[in-house]
């Protein structure tokens, strides 16, 4: 039951971050694209996110631990370490 609650809380965090970055747009297709699954553009009357919005949302979701591809993550001052730690954590988590 704890794992179920943790996953639900993670989902709530993702939705809260989505609302902070782009409160009025439907972003499910954009999030899938950021994880490497591109279903194409939104159909009218829906609008696609701008590149800046994708970068902001991708960076925010990556900060929550969502598996966002590097092309949608804004570089930081510690860019060399941005991808080392999450991948190491995934590796060690797989050993348990």
- Domain with 90 in it: 2-95
Tell me, yes or no, if the pTM score tops 0.75.
no
Distance CA 50, CA 88 (A): 32
What's the domain count of the chain? Answer: 1
- What is the Cα–Cα distance from 1 to 18, expressed in whole angstroms? 26
Instruction: State pLDDT tens for residues 45-89.
Output: 889 999 999 999 999 999 998 999 999 999 874 444 444 445 545
pLDDT tens digits, 9-32: 989 998 999 899 888 888 999 999
Helices assigned H by DSSP within 22-71: 28-34, 51-63
């Amino acid at each position: 039951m704890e794992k179920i609650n943790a996953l639900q809380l993670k989902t709530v965090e993702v939705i809260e971050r989505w609302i902070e970055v782009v409160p009025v747009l439907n972003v499910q297709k954009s999030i899938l694209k950021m994880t490497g699954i591109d279903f194409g553009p939104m159909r009218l009357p829906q609008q696609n996110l701008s590149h800046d919005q994708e970068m902001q949302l991708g960076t925010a979701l990556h900060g929550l631990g969502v598996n966002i591809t590097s092309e949608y993550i804004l570089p930081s001052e510690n860019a060399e370490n941005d991808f080392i730690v999450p991948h190491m954590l995934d590796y060690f988590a797989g050993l348990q």
